[in-house]
């Protein structure tokens, strides 16, 4: 029973980070509704790395602010994550479980951010 309680607590912490990140992305004007939808589409169709490359290349997205906003989520997958995002995305792709977990987290963040943007 203790294990289930621990697991539930850990999931709750992750959910709290995802919720806070999504809220801050909209509150801090890091992404507008249109950019959120575009990133979500790239993530869903092409994956984590493609989403990051798209964000880097999109002139209307401040990559630095976006990555700073997502940093706490990235640290869930790699607690040693620093600001060398090129290295981070290269390394995360070496472990399919981490990559899929990150994709799920980013998808939740963007979906929640979309709802926050609509409610704004």
- Give residue-wise pLDDT tens across range 94-107: 999 999 999 999 99
Q: By CB neighbour count within 10 A (0-12 exposed, 13-18 middle, 19+ buried), where does 92 fall?
A: buried
Q: Quick one: pLDDT band at residue 120, thresholds 50, 70, 90?
A: confident
pTM score, whole prediction: 0.89
Helix or strand run (H / E) with residue 85: helix 85-92
- Distances from the Cα of 67 to the Cαs of 51, 72, 76, in angstroms? 12, 9, 14
Distance CA 86, CA 3 (A): 35
Three-state DSSP at 120 gives coil
């Amino acid at each position: 029973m203790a294990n289930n309680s621990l697991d539930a607590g850990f999931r709750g912490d992750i959910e709290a980070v995802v919720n806070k990140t999504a809220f801050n992305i909209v509150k801090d004007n890091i992404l507008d509704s249109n950019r959120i939808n575009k990133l979500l589409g790239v993530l869903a169709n092409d994956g984590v790395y493609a989403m990051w490359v798209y964000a880097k290349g999109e002139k209307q997205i401040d990559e630095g602010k976006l990555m700073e906003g997502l940093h706490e989520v990235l640290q869930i997958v790699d607690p040693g994550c620093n600001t060398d995002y090129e290295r981070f995305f290269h390394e995360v792709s070496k472990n399919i479980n981490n990559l899929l977990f990150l994709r799920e987290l980013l998808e939740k963040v963007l979906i929640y951010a979309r709802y926050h943007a609509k409610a704004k």
